[in-house]
């Protein structure tokens, strides 16, 4: 039987089937988060083990997320040909190959090979994200899409809290603070041996991750997750889209892709830079490693509020507008307010806690952009989703800009790169999403 014949309309699913589908996608978002947010610990870890500057260390994020730009449109074509479930299975297997590449990279301490592994993992994730995000948009009432995305976000960020801490527990030792100081003054063969032993710690965890990803591919393929028919259009949408020839004829989608670019870029900077920034304020590395978890916890609080208040108290559009304004405000406070304070057992600069609060500001932005950008796309929804996924390359480019600026002006001043991000997001939340034609 052909793939199209097995596909069903989302509206024809029973409530039970819809809930099962959402639960399965929730598991996928947990995996996305686990694999993605490990980068928060990999960046400072590779910086030490491979002796890198800030710019070079942020190539971790670049290699991982630039894969979204390369793979998103091919992923849409792939899903159209083989369907969502087979595409997700293939995505997990591509990620497994990327994890395996960490083994020879760790054995040889070759940073370029690590980046190749991260790029391959990113390719697999691009396929998975291109499939999973439209599912959440389609499965259920459009007005509650942000609520469903909040649930997915909680799954993603819970994994983000667990992943760096678990990974740090596996690869770091209680004596590593002293080891890092000793490495800084070591010379010659002694230093090379110490660095080789340090980087070799990633081999076993990533070998295990590759096996898990391979198994997850089979799980998704044989799960009860239904194929969704995204090629059919109702009469109203068909009339609206009758003159549309490509996805570029939808301004709200194109502008939404740019909004995703700036959103994810600002989000990953807030999470991936905070360990280095906290360490610069005098907090030891092993203590600083918990701060990405604080940022992601703030994001989860935002998600919980979104689930509670949307759409009964607050529309998803209003939540988007509030969060974009808060993002701009907290970014300014990071730059303008300073002074040491004691909070949650940490003695550090107050600006660190505004970086943490950026997690809260970022919480409802992704959930707000997706339903607005995919509104009434009909048969263009897969390509539209791939265009939005391409925006995830902001995770690759924005941290590099941050790292480059940090090398020249300091970690704190580098947070200036966040201001244009939130200014554009405010534009999209208040005006850009309404543009249905390029005619002004």
Question: Which domains are seen in the chain, by residue range?
Answer: 13-226+246-434 (1.20.1250.20)
Q: 401 or 153, which is more confident?
A: 401
Longest dimension (CA), the chain: 72
pLDDT by residue (tens digit) across 85-143? 888 889 999 999 999 999 999 998 899 999 999 999 999 988 888 877 777 777 767 66
Arithmetic mean of pLDDT, 419-424: 96
pLDDT by residue (tens digit) across 54-82? 788 888 878 888 888 888 788 878 887 88
The pTM (predicted TM-score) of the whole model is 0.74
Q: Give the per-residue pLDDT at 84.
A: 77
Q: Which pair of tokens denotes residue 17?
A: 């089937």
Q: What DSSP element (H or E) covers 340?
A: strand 340-343
Lowest mean pLDDT among 11-15, 34-38, 188-192, 272-276: 11-15
Q: Give the per-residue pLDDT at 325.
A: 97
Q: Give the per-residue pLDDT at 52.
A: 86
Q: How many Å separate Cα 440 from the centre of its chain?
A: 34
Q: How many angstroms separate the CA atoms of 79 and 72, rounded?
A: 11
Q: How many angstroms separate the CA atoms of 283 and 364, rounded?
A: 30
pLDDT bracket for residue 7 (50, 70, 90): low
Q: Give the per-residue pLDDT at 138.
A: 72
pLDDT by residue (tens digit) across 352-362? 999 999 999 99
3-state secondary structure of 1: coil
Residue in this structure with the two tokens 């940073």, named with its chain if needed: 111
DSSP H helices in 38-83: 39-49, 54-57, 59-82
Residue in this structure with the two tokens 């989608």, named with its chain if needed: 253
Q: How many angstroms separate the CA atoms of 136 and 141, rounded?
A: 10
Q: How many angstroms separate the CA atoms of 372 and 105, rounded?
A: 42
The answer to whether residue 278 scores a pLDDT higher than 80 is: yes
Q: Which pair of tokens denotes residue 62?
A: 């670049």
3-state secondary structure of 162: helix
Highest mean pLDDT among 105-119, 396-410, 417-431: 417-431
pLDDT by residue (tens digit) across 228-244? 655 554 544 444 555 66
Beta pairing class for 346-349 and 340-343: antiparallel
Q: Give the per-residue pLDDT at 4.
A: 42
């Amino acid at each position: 039987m052909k793939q199209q014949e097995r596909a069903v309309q989302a509206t024809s699913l029973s409530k039970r089937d819809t809930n099962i589908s959402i639960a399965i996608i929730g598991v996928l978002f947990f995996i996305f988060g686990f694999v993605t947010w490990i980068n928060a610990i990999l960046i400072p870890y590779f910086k030490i083990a491979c002796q890198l500057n800030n710019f070079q260390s942020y190539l971790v994020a670049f290699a991982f997320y630039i894969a979204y730009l390369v793979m998103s449109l091919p992923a849409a074509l792939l899903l159209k040909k083989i369907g969502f479930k087979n595409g997700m299975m293939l995505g997990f297997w591509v990620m497994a190959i990327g994890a395996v590449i960490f083994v020879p990279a760790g054995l040889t301490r070759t940073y370029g090979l690590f980046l190749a592994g991260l790029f391959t993992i990113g390719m697999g994730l691009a396929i998975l994200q291109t499939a999973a995000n439209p599912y959440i948009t389609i499965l259920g009432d459009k007005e509650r899409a942000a609520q469903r995305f909040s649930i997915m976000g909680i799954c993603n960020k819970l994994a983000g809290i667990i992943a760096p801490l678990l990974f740090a527990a596996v690869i770091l030792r209680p004596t590593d603070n002293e080891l890092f100081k000793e490495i800084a003054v070591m010379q010659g063969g002694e230093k090379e041996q110490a660095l080789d032993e340090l980087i070799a710690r990633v081999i076993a965890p990533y070998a295990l991750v590759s096996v898990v990803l391979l198994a997850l591919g089979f799980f998704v393929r044989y799960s009860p997750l239904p194929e969704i028919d995204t090629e059919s259009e109702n009469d109203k949408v068909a009339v609206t889209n009758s003159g549309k020839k490509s996805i570029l004829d939808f301004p709200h989608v194109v502008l939404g892709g740019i909004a995703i670019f700036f959103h994810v870029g600002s989000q990953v900077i807030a999470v991936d830079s905070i360990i280095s920034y906290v360490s610069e304020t005098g907090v030891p590395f092993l203590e600083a490693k918990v701060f990405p978890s604080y940022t992601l916890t703030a994001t989860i609080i935002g998600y919980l509020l979104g689930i509670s208040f949307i759409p009964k108290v607050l529309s998803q559009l209003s939540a988007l507008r509030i969060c974009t304004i808060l993002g701009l405000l907290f970014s300014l406070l990071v730059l303008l307010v300073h002074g040491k304070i004691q909070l949650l057992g940490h003695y550090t600069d107050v600006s660190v806690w505004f970086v943490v609060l950026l997690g809260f500001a970022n919480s409802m932005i992704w959930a707000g952009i997706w339903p607005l950008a995919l509104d009434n796309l009909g048969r263009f929804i897969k390509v539209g989703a791939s265009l939005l996924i391409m925006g995830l390359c902001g995770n690759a480019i924005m941290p590099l800009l941050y790292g480059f600026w940090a090398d020249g002006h300091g970690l704190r001043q580098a947070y200036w790169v966040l201001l244009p991000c939130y200014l554009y997001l405010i534009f999209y939340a208040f005006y850009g999403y309404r543009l249905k034609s390029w005619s002004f």
